[in-house]
Amino acid sequence: MRLRNVKNAEEIINIHSLVVKEVDKNTFNNSNPIHLEIGSGKGDFIIEMSKKYPNLNFIAIEKYSGVLVKALAKIKESNNLRFILFDAKAINEIIKVNIEALYLNFSDPWPKKRHAKRRLTHPDFLLNYESLFKKAVNIYLKTDNKAFFAYSIVSLSENNYIFKEVSLNLTNEDIETQETEYERKFKAQGVTINYLYATKKI
Protein backbone atom coordinates (compact mmCIF):
# COMPACT_ATOMS: atom_id res chain seq x y z
CA MET A 1 0.00 0.00 0.00
CA ARG A 2 1.40 3.37 -1.02
CA LEU A 3 1.08 6.05 1.64
CA ARG A 4 0.30 9.55 0.47
CA ASN A 5 1.85 12.52 2.18
CA VAL A 6 -0.64 14.62 4.11
CA LYS A 7 0.01 18.34 4.14
CA ASN A 8 0.99 19.67 7.58
CA ALA A 9 0.66 16.20 9.13
CA GLU A 10 3.60 16.66 11.48
CA GLU A 11 2.34 20.06 12.60
CA ILE A 12 -1.15 18.72 13.28
CA ILE A 13 0.25 15.82 15.27
CA ASN A 14 2.57 18.02 17.33
CA ILE A 15 -0.22 20.26 18.58
CA HIS A 16 -3.00 17.71 19.01
CA SER A 17 -4.08 17.32 22.63
CA LEU A 18 -4.41 13.52 22.38
CA VAL A 19 -0.88 12.91 21.08
CA VAL A 20 1.84 12.16 23.62
CA LYS A 21 5.53 11.31 23.38
CA GLU A 22 5.40 8.60 26.03
CA VAL A 23 3.01 6.98 28.49
CA ASP A 24 3.69 7.13 32.22
CA LYS A 25 1.64 7.12 35.43
CA ASN A 26 0.50 10.71 34.80
CA THR A 27 -0.76 10.21 31.26
CA PHE A 28 -4.33 9.36 32.26
CA ASN A 29 -4.31 10.45 35.91
CA ASN A 30 -6.16 7.32 37.00
CA SER A 31 -5.38 3.68 37.76
CA ASN A 32 -7.65 2.11 35.13
CA PRO A 33 -6.21 -0.80 33.09
CA ILE A 34 -4.40 0.17 29.90
CA HIS A 35 -4.92 -1.47 26.50
CA LEU A 36 -2.48 -0.89 23.64
CA GLU A 37 -2.88 -1.17 19.87
CA ILE A 38 0.20 -1.29 17.68
CA GLY A 39 -0.43 -0.09 14.14
CA SER A 40 -3.67 1.78 14.78
CA GLY A 41 -4.10 2.92 11.17
CA LYS A 42 -6.96 5.36 10.68
CA GLY A 43 -8.13 4.76 14.23
CA ASP A 44 -11.59 3.24 13.85
CA PHE A 45 -10.89 0.30 16.16
CA ILE A 46 -9.21 2.13 19.02
CA ILE A 47 -11.58 5.12 18.94
CA GLU A 48 -14.64 2.88 19.15
CA MET A 49 -13.03 0.82 21.92
CA SER A 50 -12.36 3.95 23.96
CA LYS A 51 -16.02 4.97 23.64
CA LYS A 52 -17.32 1.49 24.37
CA TYR A 53 -15.16 1.00 27.49
CA PRO A 54 -14.86 4.31 29.36
CA ASN A 55 -13.37 2.57 32.41
CA LEU A 56 -10.35 1.44 30.41
CA ASN A 57 -7.46 3.51 29.04
CA PHE A 58 -6.25 3.07 25.46
CA ILE A 59 -2.97 3.80 23.69
CA ALA A 60 -2.68 3.81 19.90
CA ILE A 61 0.75 3.56 18.30
CA GLU A 62 1.16 4.40 14.62
CA LYS A 63 4.47 4.96 12.85
CA TYR A 64 3.22 6.85 9.78
CA SER A 65 2.30 10.51 10.30
CA GLY A 66 0.09 10.59 7.20
CA VAL A 67 -2.02 7.75 8.63
CA LEU A 68 -2.10 8.99 12.22
CA VAL A 69 -3.37 12.41 11.20
CA LYS A 70 -6.40 10.75 9.60
CA ALA A 71 -7.20 9.05 12.90
CA LEU A 72 -6.85 12.34 14.77
CA ALA A 73 -9.34 13.97 12.41
CA LYS A 74 -11.98 11.61 13.79
CA ILE A 75 -11.68 12.60 17.44
CA LYS A 76 -10.98 15.92 19.16
CA GLU A 77 -11.02 15.00 22.83
CA SER A 78 -11.04 11.93 25.04
CA ASN A 79 -10.36 11.13 28.68
CA ASN A 80 -9.14 7.60 28.01
CA LEU A 81 -7.36 7.59 24.64
CA ARG A 82 -3.89 8.76 23.63
CA PHE A 83 -1.95 8.44 20.38
CA ILE A 84 1.79 8.10 19.81
CA LEU A 85 3.73 8.52 16.56
CA PHE A 86 6.41 5.88 16.95
CA ASP A 87 7.93 2.66 15.60
CA ALA A 88 7.00 -0.31 17.78
CA LYS A 89 10.46 -1.89 17.60
CA ALA A 90 11.54 0.39 20.48
CA ILE A 91 8.24 0.29 22.34
CA ASN A 92 9.90 -0.16 25.73
CA GLU A 93 11.34 3.33 25.46
CA ILE A 94 7.96 5.06 25.47
CA ILE A 95 5.60 2.82 27.48
CA LYS A 96 6.62 3.23 31.11
CA VAL A 97 3.56 1.67 32.72
CA ASN A 98 2.06 -1.82 32.75
CA ILE A 99 -0.59 -2.68 30.20
CA GLU A 100 -3.32 -5.31 30.35
CA ALA A 101 -3.93 -6.14 26.67
CA LEU A 102 -2.21 -5.76 23.30
CA TYR A 103 -4.01 -5.60 19.94
CA LEU A 104 -2.31 -6.43 16.64
CA ASN A 105 -4.88 -5.69 13.96
CA PHE A 106 -3.97 -6.42 10.34
CA SER A 107 -0.26 -5.88 10.91
CA ASP A 108 2.10 -5.75 7.94
CA PRO A 109 2.81 -9.47 7.25
CA TRP A 110 6.30 -8.84 5.84
CA PRO A 111 5.99 -11.91 3.58
CA LYS A 112 9.62 -12.18 2.50
CA LYS A 113 11.68 -14.55 4.66
CA ARG A 114 14.51 -12.05 5.04
CA HIS A 115 12.06 -9.62 6.67
CA ALA A 116 10.80 -12.06 9.32
CA LYS A 117 12.31 -10.04 12.16
CA ARG A 118 10.03 -7.13 11.24
CA ARG A 119 6.87 -9.14 11.89
CA LEU A 120 5.13 -7.99 15.07
CA THR A 121 4.89 -11.58 16.33
CA HIS A 122 8.57 -12.34 15.86
CA PRO A 123 10.18 -13.64 19.10
CA ASP A 124 12.14 -10.40 19.50
CA PHE A 125 8.90 -8.40 19.57
CA LEU A 126 7.24 -10.91 21.89
CA LEU A 127 10.11 -10.50 24.35
CA ASN A 128 9.70 -6.72 24.28
CA TYR A 129 5.98 -7.01 24.88
CA GLU A 130 6.48 -9.13 27.99
CA SER A 131 8.24 -6.30 29.79
CA LEU A 132 5.06 -4.19 29.45
CA PHE A 133 2.86 -6.63 31.36
CA LYS A 134 2.81 -7.37 35.07
CA LYS A 135 1.30 -10.84 35.61
CA ALA A 136 0.20 -12.15 32.23
CA VAL A 137 0.61 -11.16 28.59
CA ASN A 138 -2.63 -10.92 26.61
CA ILE A 139 -2.37 -10.62 22.84
CA TYR A 140 -5.30 -10.26 20.44
CA LEU A 141 -4.53 -10.59 16.72
CA LYS A 142 -6.54 -10.23 13.51
CA THR A 143 -5.24 -10.67 9.98
CA ASP A 144 -6.38 -11.56 6.49
CA ASN A 145 -2.96 -13.02 5.70
CA LYS A 146 -2.95 -16.78 6.27
CA ALA A 147 0.85 -17.12 6.07
CA PHE A 148 1.34 -14.44 8.72
CA PHE A 149 -1.35 -16.04 10.88
CA ALA A 150 0.37 -19.45 10.64
CA TYR A 151 3.72 -17.84 11.46
CA SER A 152 2.18 -16.11 14.49
CA ILE A 153 0.65 -19.37 15.75
CA VAL A 154 4.04 -21.05 15.59
CA SER A 155 5.94 -18.12 17.12
CA LEU A 156 3.50 -17.77 20.02
CA SER A 157 3.46 -21.53 20.61
CA GLU A 158 7.24 -21.76 20.69
CA ASN A 159 7.27 -18.93 23.24
CA ASN A 160 4.91 -20.74 25.62
CA TYR A 161 1.69 -18.89 24.89
CA ILE A 162 -1.66 -20.58 25.49
CA PHE A 163 -4.42 -20.00 22.95
CA LYS A 164 -7.76 -19.06 24.47
CA GLU A 165 -9.50 -18.34 21.15
CA VAL A 166 -8.55 -19.20 17.58
CA SER A 167 -10.63 -18.72 14.45
CA LEU A 168 -9.84 -19.21 10.76
CA ASN A 169 -13.06 -17.41 9.83
CA LEU A 170 -14.02 -14.82 12.41
CA THR A 171 -17.15 -13.78 10.51
CA ASN A 172 -18.71 -17.17 11.16
CA GLU A 173 -17.75 -17.34 14.84
CA ASP A 174 -19.68 -16.25 17.91
CA ILE A 175 -16.75 -14.16 19.16
CA GLU A 176 -17.39 -10.56 20.13
CA THR A 177 -14.70 -8.20 18.84
CA GLN A 178 -14.57 -4.57 17.73
CA GLU A 179 -14.40 -4.21 13.96
CA THR A 180 -11.55 -2.37 12.24
CA GLU A 181 -11.68 -0.42 8.99
CA TYR A 182 -9.74 -3.18 7.22
CA GLU A 183 -12.09 -5.79 8.61
CA ARG A 184 -15.15 -4.06 7.16
CA LYS A 185 -13.41 -3.74 3.81
CA PHE A 186 -12.34 -7.39 3.71
CA LYS A 187 -15.75 -8.68 4.81
CA ALA A 188 -17.39 -6.77 1.97
CA GLN A 189 -14.95 -8.47 -0.42
CA GLY A 190 -15.60 -11.91 1.04
CA VAL A 191 -12.07 -12.19 2.45
CA THR A 192 -11.66 -14.54 5.43
CA ILE A 193 -10.50 -13.00 8.71
CA ASN A 194 -8.17 -14.96 11.00
CA TYR A 195 -8.25 -14.24 14.73
CA LEU A 196 -6.55 -15.36 17.93
CA TYR A 197 -6.34 -14.50 21.59
CA ALA A 198 -3.20 -15.83 23.28
CA THR A 199 -1.96 -15.43 26.83
CA LYS A 200 1.14 -16.21 28.84
CA LYS A 201 1.86 -15.95 32.56
CA ILE A 202 5.06 -14.12 33.47
Domain that residue 44 falls in:
9-201
Active site residue 108: yes
Domain count of the fold of the chain: 1
Measure the CA–CA gap between 95 and 23, rounded to whole angstroms.
5
The CATH number of residue 120's host domain is 3.40.50.150
Q: Is residue 164 assigned to a domain?
A: yes
Query: Is residue 3 in some structural domain?
Result: no
> Which pLDDT score is estimated for 149?
98
Residue 4, in any domain of the structure: no
Q: Is residue 35 part of a domain?
A: yes
Residue 1 is assigned to a structural domain of this protein: no
Give Cα separations from 67 to 4, 74, 109, 158 (angstroms).
9, 12, 18, 33
pTM to 2 decimals? 0.94
User: What is the distance between the alpha carbons of residues 137 and 139, in angstroms, rounded to a whole number?
Assistant: 7
Q: What is the pLDDT along the chain (202 residues), one digit of tens a residue?
A: 444 566 688 888 988 999 999 999 999 999 999 999 999 999 999 999 999 999 999 999 999 999 999 999 999 999 999 999 999 888 999 999 999 999 999 999 999 999 999 999 999 999 999 999 999 999 999 999 999 999 999 999 999 999 999 999 999 999 999 999 999 999 899 999 999 999 999 9
State residue 57 phi and psi, 5-degree precision. Answer: -105, 145
- Which candidate in 24, 44, 87, 108 is catalytic? 108
Beta strands in the chain (DSSP E): 34-38, 57-62, 81-85, 101-105, 136-143, 162-167, 194-201
